[in-house]
Structure 1
Amino acid sequence: MRYRTLGASGLRVPELGLGTGTFAGSGPLFGEWGTAGPEQARRLVDLSLDAGVTLFDSADVYSEGAAEEVLGQAVQGRRDRVLLSTKVGLPTGAGPQDAGTSRSRLIRTTEDALRRLRTDRIDLLQLHAFDASTPVEETLSALDALVRDGKVRYVGASNFSGWQLMKSLAAADRLHTPRHVAHQVYYSPVGRDYEWELMPLGLDQGVGALVWSPLGWGRLTGRIRRGLPLPERSRLHRTSGFGPPVADELLFDVVDVLLEVAAETGRTVPQVAINWLLRRPTVASVIIGARTEEQLIDNLGAVGWELDPEQVERLDAVSRREAPYPYYPYRRQEGFARLDPPLFA
């Protein structure tokens, strides 16, 4: 396992992190992801640590906080060996104080997360979504207080648009509060929108990407193929409305090439897809998830080897799609490209 610096910070994170959406799964979404209890979760953490994975990511909305509780139990006795990352800000109830990142709610939800995780500090606290109803200055000052109190080490964001992230970074510079050093984003071979604006922003501003759903919401497991029905246990049967949409034509074109490269390298489709992501600019860590030990072991096999340049180019080509305005001129027209060369053709 190799380790990378997270954005413009001194924090070193492993290439792969373990997501805990499969821990204590309940409800229509997380119940389909996985239901690992304390014993199974501890085994998954054991396997991860043995492979060099030290980053464990959660959120207060994962199974209504139960995922954080199970993770806290799983890392008991080895807190100093792990990095705990969690996310706050999404609604956790119907009340007026049950959503957003106001000062009062941000401090309360962070303290609740600390209690569930059984720890005195969170290594990376991420805002799960941008809260347009709270002044960004209020949110940043609350984060600053949490850092000064030693309850949080680093701060980040998740699912922000470009202007939302840049507004937060500019305000942090103006107020001299901690900047977001991480942005947890959706990015996969069947979902490359991250490259259009957020990746250049991350390069320019020193914000590292933590990638969620690298397998395109379960589409790139190798079990979904052209001309075949969805596997009976595929979570796409019940959770397709939650995840990012992917056109069938794009999906099957990408899967065809992933299968070819997997055969050439002796690897699996998920391993090839994750390895491709780890080569992309700004990507600090890919967050993998697993319902079983077998799935985890397979995903851990995505590191320690490299795709060759020709294989990367084939995957680039088949997954490439036209960017929307105002991004496409910078890819297609020489005059625009001279001013701001695109990261990818």
Structure 2
Amino acid sequence: MEKRKSSGGAFEVSRLGLGTSTWGFKGTEEDSAAQLRLFADAGGTLIETANVYGNGGSESVIGDLLSKVFDRADFVLATKAGLVPGKPPLKTDASAKRLLTELEGSLQRLRTDHVELWQVHAWDYAVPIAETLQAIDTAIASGKVIAAGVCNYCGWQTAKAATIQQLRGQAPLVTAEVEYSLLQRGIEREVIPAAHEFGIDILPWAPLGRGVLTGKYASGIPAAKGDSKFFRWYVEKYATDERCGKIVHEVLSCAQELAVSPTVVALSWVRDRPRVLAPLVGARTADQLVESLRSESVVLPDEIRQRLDSVSTTPITYPEHRI
């Protein structure tokens, strides 16, 4: 798999990352091991997790696999803190004390003395951002974190945090993990410009439009799926939206013309967008991951890319664009 260097050269990663949000509570460790083996054999190196994934279960599974089956040195570990483990809806706590305590727990579960990337999972309106950033400075100074970033920050939040780090002469933020796909291009209004201004790389989560871009709902939503609480919360707004339906139809048409799957088309599109470091793919099964990995050998023709851009574009008007 082709590699890309992060902003400032803090680390190098595969241009596709392995998301592990379901590890530790869905499937078995054997399922996770099979996915990691496929990913590693394809040249994948970036593993993305968080302290709240499976209430720490995801990190524990990764730690077990990297200590017993795989070589820790072959991977770039990215974890997060800032959300409090527990039952949804999760609370935010990005205080310095809480963040550093969660980091220690993450390192123990991951069975490592450091992570290459540590990200603040959400903006905390109750805690001054300077305090949150101080935790990042402390973690990097200790050697337990190589580089840091943010997750789910909007444009002004990203810019404010990056500016404070810059003015204080501290380690710059190198990544912003945000939802980004053909169905969700909202970050192009302000987050992408902020990332460009401060040299921040984008790690797209849900690059397959929460599964909708695979085309599995193009013919309708199975009754059992539609009744699912998770589906209604996470997927329904994309699976039933008219605009999203048009985008999925175009993805399916492009996939047919290229003789590849819709998954490959959707991933290839987001992978090669400006400032993107590596889309994060969370597969439920090893077979699903195989299909995502096939995107590595595909570069979309300009004509196909233009069609996808056109059908999915999000209007950007004043004040992001001048009158």
Q: TM-score scaled to structure 1, two decimals?
A: 0.87
Give a deviation string over 1:31-80, Cα, whole Å, max 9, x none.
Answer: xxxx1322221121111000011000011111111111111112225100
In 2: Cα distance, 1:232 partner to 1:112 partner: 40
Q: How many residues align?
A: 316
In 2: Cα distance, 1:195 partner to 1:259 partner: 24
Q: How far 1:7 sits from its partner (Å)?
A: 2.5
Q: How far 1:120 sits from its partner (Å)?
A: 0.7
What SS class does the counterpart of residue 218 from structure 1 fall into? helix
Aligned to 1:30: none
1:110 aligns with one of 97, 103, 109: 103
Give a deviation string over 1:113-172, Cα, whole Å, max 9, x none.
Answer: 001111110110000001122222222222111111111111010000111111111111
Aligned to 2:14: 14
2:229 aligns with one of 234, 238, 263: 238
Structure 2 runs not aligned, ≥5 long? none
Tell me which amino acid in the other structure corresponds to 2:268: N
8 A Cα contact 1:84 1:122, kept in partner: yes
Q: How far 1:324 sits from its partner (Å)?
A: 5.5
8 A Cα contact 1:8 1:208, kept in partner: no
Matched, 1:36 2:24: no
8 A Cα contact 2:92 2:122, kept in partner: no
1:81 aligns with one of 74, 78, 83: 74
Aligned to 2:59: 68
8 A Cα contact 2:11 2:116, kept in partner: no
In 1: Cα distance, 2:251 partner to 2:215 partner: 8
8 A Cα contact 2:10 2:147, kept in partner: no
Tell me which amino acid in the other structure corresponds to 2:10: G
In 2: Cα distance, 1:295 partner to 1:148 partner: 39
1:126 aligns with one of 103, 119, 128: 119
Tell me which amino acid in the other structure corresponds to 2:22: T
Tell me which amino acid in the other structure corresponds to 2:128: P
In 2: Cα distance, 1:166 partner to 1:322 partner: 22
8 A Cα contact 1:211 1:287, kept in partner: yes
8 A Cα contact 1:9 1:181, kept in partner: no
Q: How far 1:261 sits from its partner (Å)?
A: 0.8
1:161 aligns with one of 141, 154, 166: 154
Aligned CA distance change for structure 1 residues 269 and 17 (closer, same or farther; 3 Å)? same
Aligned to 1:23: 23
Structure 1 runs not aligned, ≥5 long? 26-34, 331-335, 338-345
Aligned to 1:90: 83
Tell me which amino acid in the other structure corresponds to 1:113: S
Q: TM-score scaled to structure 2, two decimals?
A: 0.92
Aligned to 1:29: none
Q: How far 1:243 sits from its partner (Å)?
A: 5.7
Tell me which amino acid in the other structure corresponds to 1:241: W
Q: How far 1:229 sits from its partner (Å)?
A: 2.3
Q: How far 1:91 sits from its partner (Å)?
A: 2.3
In 2: Cα distance, 1:21 partner to 1:179 partner: 26
Matched, 1:251 2:247: no
